[in-house]
Structure 1
Amino acid sequence: MTDTSTLPPPTHGIAGWPFGTARGGLARPASLPDGRPWPRIRVITVTRHGTDPGGSVASVLRQEYPDVRHDLLPPGSGRAAVERMLADPTIDHLLWLGAGDLLAPGALTALALEAALTGAAAVAGLRVLYDDAVRALDAPAAMVEPGDGAFAGSAILWARDALSTHALLDADGALQAAAAWSALGEARRVIIGRPVLLHGLAVAPIPTGDLSIVSLTGTGTQGGAGVAQRRLADALALAGHRVTEVALSTRPEAAEWTDTFPQAEAAIAAAAPDLVLAGNLHGATRSLDIVGRLARRGPVGLVLHDLFPLTGRCCHPRDCGRALAGCDAACPTPDEYPQLASDRIASMHVRKRAVLAGPAGPWLLANSDWTLLRARELAPPGAIAERIRLAFPTAVFRPGDRAALRLRLGLPPGDVLILVSAVIVDGPDKGFSDLRAALQAVTRPGVGVVAIGRLDDPTKLGVPNLFAPGLIADEKTLAAWYGACDVHVTASRHETLGQTPIEAGLCGVPTLAYRVSGLTSSVIDGVSGRLVPVRPGALAEALTALVEDGDARARLGAFARITLESRHSPAAAALSLDAVFRRRGLRDATLRPTFAPAMLGHFPFAAALQKGAVGTVPAASPPLVRRLRRAKQMVLGRRMPLFVRRCLYLAGTLRRSAP
């Protein structure tokens, strides 16, 4: 074994690695989520004359993976040894590591977990390219030519029984990776969005991101969907694309009556985009007319942060079947946001469907498996629907020292703290009554609740030991509150994905939720949290079990961090969009996706971490406004009658026309 303490410091820009301890990690659970042992891995390095494998050896040792062996094969004599490994049933996976290449922190754990969860025959990740500094990150192309040399320096975890014992090895025992990757087919291979390898460069890489993209929102990037849209734009910029952000309007009170946006449309035309990536438009308009006009000029991707594009009015049809049959004046909630006069709902639904069904209609980009199914169910025949992943700042939302975080935030050091988080905690689609019942069933001395978000009347929760910091617009501060808690719970039934379970999971905090909607993608049952059926008492029972089982919480939290970093990093999101671009002819399918060096800063072991965003949610309302809002809800609930909307529209118009 190599003594890593005697090796020189790295020059690749990753602080302390592979000769130091990675930041932001949690203890690896002793077994896989289903109780099976971690798979047995053989790492193979074919040594080369003049190349020192010491760093490679050290990087494998620093993985501290429970069942790994590293074989150094001399040139010219390795093929027979590898063929014996391919025939050995005691080996589960093999990974070829170039002499001089380094495994990134936690690479084997991340690759092995993804292989176990998906059953993939090959799992690859990002490659960090460096000389005297990090120059780029990249990932295998979706399609490659069998003789392509672009897989040199890749680290791919291969299932032993998926590799052929002939025609894939050279005389030294090295795998012809491009040929093996192509032979598997797309359904049997997975790319995770986190670094797994550090590869020294002889020549700087050529950037491959070359699209001009407009990220279009209704009124900007505040709030849940706005934040999600902004994070996608940031991920695309890190992939080398030229991204221009455009908002349709600054007049949300006019949305019900506005369908044209001359200034915004002129800004889009000036950008000459190859693609418009639109999302969360209903804050500025109740129609999709702008999408139809843009789609006639070029490709438009419409991100389904909610189901508004597929209905006559609402963002979530809930149990209403009218969206499938045709929304009309019988809509049960015309006065709920996004409001629309009843007599306009039928015609608006027809207009939306005409846009989606057009020969140049937008691509519907679904952020979860459930949303993809709903899109295909509700969209008109012929509409294109694709699956993508949302991006999250994985270096900001990361595990921290829980005791230190609690001390800093003034939270009790020894309590079990239950987290609830939403922009509007008691919003109509957040299952507030179920949430309150579950919390009241478990809170007692030693068990407290942290409620993040707008909650005009905290007493409505009816629980002792409540900590309500309100809306938090700084991602770094938000991550600290997440990381200080033990378990996150949501009673929502209507999420296209659910961002808070992913943010919490990245901080090492598992989520408890109903087994419904997009939550079945954001909460991986038994891995990043637990899902329960929608029935009275189910949430309270499961929450009680988690409150009482600290070991289960720790295990789920550790798996949550590993899995969600792999699946929802900015790189993972950019790769999912890149796959859509390739399928739709916007990108050459053989080009290797490449990222700017700053992408590395989204992973906690990097030397320079990316900073989180601020201003992600609206500022907290003054006490008077909160009291007025509570009074209005007592009289009208969350409804906004048409006459009130017209008065607000008129007031806004007069205010803007005043000198």
Structure 2
Amino acid sequence: MPDSPDDTAAVPAHGIAGWPLGGADPGRPRPDSLPDGAPWPRIRVLTVAAGTEPRLSETIASVARQRYPESRHDLVPPGEAARVAAAILADRAGDGLLFLRAGDLLAPGALAALALEMALTGAAAVAGLRVLFDRRVSAVDLPSLAGTEEADIPFTGGEILWSRRRLMESGRLDPTGPLGPEAAWRGLSALGARVARIGRPVLLQHAPTGDERGRRTGRALSIVALTGTGYAGGAGIAQRRLGNALMLAGHRITDVTLSEESPPAAAEWTDSFPVSESAILSGGHDLVLAGNLHGATRTLGILGRLSGHLPIALVLHDLFPLTGRCAQPKGCPRIAAGGCDAACPTPDEYPQLARRRVAPVYAAKRAVLARRRGPLLLANSAWTLAQARRLAPPEAATASVTLAFPTGVFRPADRAALRRELGLPADDVLILISAVIVDGPDKGFSDLAATLRRVARPGLGFVAIGRLDDPGRLGLPNLFAPGPIAEEARLAAWYGACDLHVTASRLETLGQTPIEAGLCGTPTIAYRAGGLTSAVIDGVSGRLVPDEPGALAAAIEDLVADGPAQARLGAFARIALENRFSPASAAISLDTLFRDSGLLPDTGGRLRFGAAMLGHFPDAAERHPGAAGTVAPSTGRLVRALRLAKQAVLGRNLPLPLRRCLYWASAIRTGLRGPA
């Protein structure tokens, strides 16, 4: 059977005609073997072509540009497809198959992305996003898992990598047969085989300008994004990104922020939000997507009232909805001993609540969650899902959700150039720590500082991003502390300039900074604790260590001394995390949730996004610039000095009398009534 050229010299100097991405594709770094040391899957790409098809040379070039040495591209005459496919399936020398139609193109890095996901999950088939384009991009879509594809959108299967072995085991599924790739894709799932979908572009397919194949089908939902204090800070950022992913999937988002009706100083005593509730109930919405409410209220009362009228989904950015008052129980025995009550050991920690109110608020929360139409709890990691099922009432409904990250903003760049731009040393190994509040006790600051002091030595530098009132508390030489960075693009530059990212937190429901760092090609070292076990793919995007003294420092020293291991982990981190945490990945998880819950009919059809979705990937000609104002800007010296003085006298917590004073001050300013 004839083979296409595999020499990249065959690619025209000007690239591929009509290429819908940004400029020339420089190729992507890919380690020589899989994370476990095994060889990359051997992939056969099969294209049925007579040799005269328009744009066939571009199809060939797109495969050659994959820089995937373990692939072979076969060009097969039209009448030979079934025979050749059968021969490939029987050939034990191959691991995966991809059927690419003449004229279609593989996106940069597609084979590596599909192959890595197949290797990590053992999936029988892995599908990625298809980009429809002509003179411009018209849409981005993805195969569904059920139902039937629309007749006006040919399902050629070029976005699917098939496991040769699993196809052979199925015995009757042939993507080149009369029923085509659609039947094989759904057939594998029906047989109980795992099929996976990744949220990154894989296939570029020509669609004539003006045709309606990019138009979204099905009903768009009207969704209220309900938060306590808006979109600043870690949880607020995560909530905003979920809303953006839903908009890219064609849904309508209406923001409602409770602190616009009642200030945060009143949160401990506020349960009613009549203006917000009236606006939500009169808007004809389909769903409330709530999250991070405790900045405006310490109860779930508003969700209980709204749940009698429309579905509620509550994202667990922390465990506050499941406790009497705290965001993280930290192993507190009170819940297991009968529930949160006045014996709460930390009532003055944020989110604070008077001791006498802990038990009634805990009972009221559980009553809301136990309702027949109560909020659906959405967990952002496997650990959080387990905690939700452990701590919530047995009647509470739980599900998983994938958080969204701007994978076109957080991306690898030239590290040397970034260091010159940021004024960082060119040759030092730089270790990054990052959090909204770096010295927060919940981030394991004392442990982190001690660990970094232990490994400090000449040639090693440290970068601390986030609020850090007294950088001297770290006790580190060669420290760069730029403070809070509110622009995602600027934050990505700092991530990309560093060699390693380290966190000592044990209390993350997921951990956003390891994912942001990994998308920039910077691996993370963390404890094997909490949601970090999902944010850091051990041995792929970083290393997880036991939660025991010295383990974190030992792992840092090991990787600092092993530059090639750093590079391998950074390269794998970018591929694996883009596959799993892009805006499209989040929208996929939410779409599955909506169909499972009956909010959207499970009638099949491809999950479709607008053309703007492509702008959230690094290869787009017009990339989304990222968000600004994501965290509070750095405060002046006087404010930092006052904050440090307050911490020296009162600690980080606010006692109840002082909280009441702040409440009354805000009530006077806004005309609120005082607490009963």
- After TM superposition, the score normalised by the length of structure 2 is 0.94
Pairing partner for 1:601 from 615, 622, 627: 615
Q: Which structure 1 segments of 5+ residues have no match?
A: none
Structure 1 residue 623: Cα displacement: 1.2
| 8 Å Cα contact 2:380-2:400 kept in structure 1 | yes
Seen in structure 2, the aligned counterparts of structure 1 residues 95 and 153 have a Cα distance that, compared at 3 Å, is closer
> Corresponding residue for 1:241?
251
Seen in structure 2, the aligned counterparts of structure 1 residues 8 and 329 have a Cα distance that, compared at 3 Å, is closer
Structure 1 residue 201: Cα displacement: 1.4
Structure 1 residue 46: Cα displacement: 1.5
**Deviates most, 590-599 or 322-331:** 322-331
CA deviation vs aligned residue, 1:245-294 (integer Å, no higher than 9, x gap): 11011411100011111222222234321111000000000000111111
| 8 Å Cα contact 1:46-1:174 kept in structure 2 | no
Aligned: 1:195 with 2:201:
yes
Aligned: 1:641 with 2:655:
yes
> Corresponding residue for 1:204?
212
Write the mapping of 1:334-373 to structure 2, written as runs, cut at 5 A: 334-373=347-386
Aligned: 1:93 with 2:106:
no
| 8 Å Cα contact 1:80-1:173 kept in structure 2 | no
> Corresponding residue for 1:15?
22
> Corresponding residue for 2:183?
179
| 8 Å Cα contact 1:96-1:175 kept in structure 2 | no
| 8 Å Cα contact 1:510-1:529 kept in structure 2 | yes
Pairing partner for 1:517 from 530, 542, 553: 530
C-alpha distance in 2 between matches for 1:384 and 1:201: 42
CA deviation vs aligned residue, 1:29-51 (integer Å, no higher than 9, x gap): 01000000101000111126862
> Corresponding residue for 1:309?
321
> Corresponding residue for 1:577?
590
Pairing partner for 2:454 from 441, 451, 472: 441
> Corresponding residue for 2:223?
213
| 8 Å Cα contact 1:431-1:491 kept in structure 2 | yes
C-alpha distance in 1 between matches for 2:40 and 2:289: 40
- Tell me the SS of whatever aligns to 1:136: strand
- Tell me the SS of whatever aligns to 1:220: coil
Structure 1 residue 221: Cα displacement: 0.4
C-alpha distance in 2 between matches for 1:175 and 1:557: 41
Amino acid aligned to 1:235: A
> Corresponding residue for 1:650?
664
C-alpha distance in 2 between matches for 1:418 and 1:8: 38
> Corresponding residue for 1:264?
276
CA deviation vs aligned residue, 1:527-581 (integer Å, no higher than 9, x gap): 0000000111111111111111111111100000000011000000110111101
> Corresponding residue for 2:299?
287
Aligned: 1:116 with 2:119:
yes
> Corresponding residue for 1:547?
560
Pairing partner for 1:408 from 410, 416, 421: 421
C-alpha distance in 2 between matches for 1:339 and 1:146: 52
Structure 1 residue 438: Cα displacement: 1.1
Pairing partner for 2:312 from 292, 296, 300: 300
Write the mapping of 1:493-512 to structure 2, written as runs, cut at 5 A: 493-512=506-525
- Tell me the SS of whatever aligns to 2:448: helix
Write the mapping of 1:154-165 to structure 2, written as runs, cut at 5 A: 154-164=158-168
Pairing partner for 1:432 from 434, 445, 451: 445
C-alpha distance in 1 between matches for 2:186 and 2:293: 40
| 8 Å Cα contact 1:312-1:346 kept in structure 2 | yes
Amino acid aligned to 1:557: G
CA deviation vs aligned residue, 1:334-372 (integer Å, no higher than 9, x gap): 000000000000110110011111010111110000001
CA deviation vs aligned residue, 1:443-477 (integer Å, no higher than 9, x gap): 11210110001111111101111100011111111
| 8 Å Cα contact 1:399-1:483 kept in structure 2 | yes
Write the mapping of 1:316-335 to structure 2, written as runs, cut at 5 A: 316-324=328-336, 325-335=338-348
> Corresponding residue for 1:613?
627
C-alpha distance in 2 between matches for 1:292 and 1:461: 44
CA deviation vs aligned residue, 1:168-211 (integer Å, no higher than 9, x gap): 448x7687211111122266000000000011114322213611
- Tell me the SS of whatever aligns to 1:429: helix
**Deviates most, 317-326 or 494-503:** 317-326
Structure 1 residue 144: Cα displacement: 3.0
**Deviates most, 203-212 or 497-506:** 203-212
> Corresponding residue for 1:66?
69
| 8 Å Cα contact 1:399-1:506 kept in structure 2 | yes
Write the mapping of 1:562-573 to structure 2, written as runs, cut at 5 A: 562-573=575-586
- Tell me the SS of whatever aligns to 1:322: coil
Please report the RMSD computed on the Cα atoms of aligned residues, expressed in angstroms: 1.8
Seen in structure 2, the aligned counterparts of structure 1 residues 66 and 332 have a Cα distance that, compared at 3 Å, is same
- Tell me the SS of whatever aligns to 1:126: strand
Seen in structure 2, the aligned counterparts of structure 1 residues 311 and 64 have a Cα distance that, compared at 3 Å, is same
> Corresponding residue for 2:241?
231
Seen in structure 2, the aligned counterparts of structure 1 residues 469 and 181 have a Cα distance that, compared at 3 Å, is same
C-alpha distance in 2 between matches for 1:6 and 1:26: 18
Seen in structure 2, the aligned counterparts of structure 1 residues 313 and 200 have a Cα distance that, compared at 3 Å, is same
C-alpha distance in 2 between matches for 1:288 and 1:112: 44
Q: Percent identity?
A: 62
- Tell me the SS of whatever aligns to 2:12: helix
| 8 Å Cα contact 2:17-2:58 kept in structure 1 | no
- Tell me the SS of whatever aligns to 2:394: coil
> Corresponding residue for 1:151?
155
C-alpha distance in 2 between matches for 1:321 and 1:50: 73
**Deviates most, 515-524 or 187-196:** 187-196
| 8 Å Cα contact 1:249-1:261 kept in structure 2 | no
Aligned: 1:393 with 2:400:
no
Write the mapping of 1:74-93 to structure 2, written as runs, cut at 5 A: 74-93=77-96
Seen in structure 2, the aligned counterparts of structure 1 residues 116 and 470 have a Cα distance that, compared at 3 Å, is same
**Deviates most, 68-77 or 330-339:** 68-77
| 8 Å Cα contact 2:281-2:306 kept in structure 1 | no
- After TM superposition, the score normalised by the length of structure 1 is 0.96
Aligned: 1:41 with 2:51:
no
Pairing partner for 2:265 from 253, 256, 277: 253
C-alpha distance in 2 between matches for 1:600 and 1:401: 22
**Deviates most, 180-189 or 343-352:** 180-189
C-alpha distance in 2 between matches for 1:316 and 1:174: 55
CA deviation vs aligned residue, 1:122-141 (integer Å, no higher than 9, x gap): 00000001122100000011
Structure 1 residue 607: Cα displacement: 0.5
Amino acid aligned to 1:108: L
> Corresponding residue for 1:276?
288
- Tell me the SS of whatever aligns to 2:62: helix
Structure 1 residue 146: Cα displacement: 9.0
C-alpha distance in 2 between matches for 1:175 and 1:535: 56
Amino acid aligned to 1:410: G
Amino acid aligned to 1:204: E
What is the aligned length? 652
CA deviation vs aligned residue, 1:115-161 (integer Å, no higher than 9, x gap): 00011010000000112210000001121349977523542001001
**Deviates most, 118-127 or 49-58:** 49-58
> Corresponding residue for 2:12?
5
